[in-house]
Amino acid sequence: MRNVHATALVLGQRGLLLVGPSGAGKSSLALDLIHAAERQGQSCSLVSDDQVLIEVKDGTVIGHAPSSIFGLIEVRGAGIVSMPAVTSATLHVAILPIRAPYEPRMPPENERFDLGDGNSLPLVRLPVGLCQDVLGLLQRLLKSN
């Protein structure tokens, strides 16, 4: 298994790997998506925050939570909080939170997030701070990919 600096969620039946450097907003985006899904009666569960153990079995990417951080997520400026979580999930797409200025204006076609060993996930860039409905925007972007 490979340890990736990321946050993993399950939104409905789709596993999301939130990627980006420290301070990119992965944990904040995860919290926003979880709470927005709850408000709309949709399911969205944390798998792991900050570290995700990646395993690839027969071409399927699976994200696992390290036991030491299971059920914990960082609320920047406030500390670490516990929340309901699942121990692992199949991951389908990587999400890169981006902030203005949005460069490049149009993302590369068929962009992928490299997991190493020849494995990758489709990558979707998600502008954060662009609108109030980040869940709705994400769902629209996922439908078009």
Residue with tokens 């494995």: 119
Of 7, 1, 18, the closest CA to residue 47 belongs to 7
The answer, yes or no, to whether residue 144 has pLDDT greater than 80, is no
**106 burial via Cβ count (<10 Å: 0-12, 13-18, 19+):** exposed
pTM: 0.93
pLDDT at 103: 74
How high is the pLDDT of residue 107? Answer: 83
Examine the pLDDT at 88 and tell me if it is beyond 90: yes
Pick the CATH number of 2-137 from 3.40.50.300, 1.10.3720.10, 2.40.50.140, 1.10.1420.10: 3.40.50.300
Q: What is the pLDDT of residues 16-63, one digit of tens each?
A: 999 999 988 999 999 999 999 999 999 999 999 999 999 999 999 999
The region that residue 143 occupies, defined by phi over 0 for left and psi between -120 and 50 for alpha, beta otherwise, is: alpha
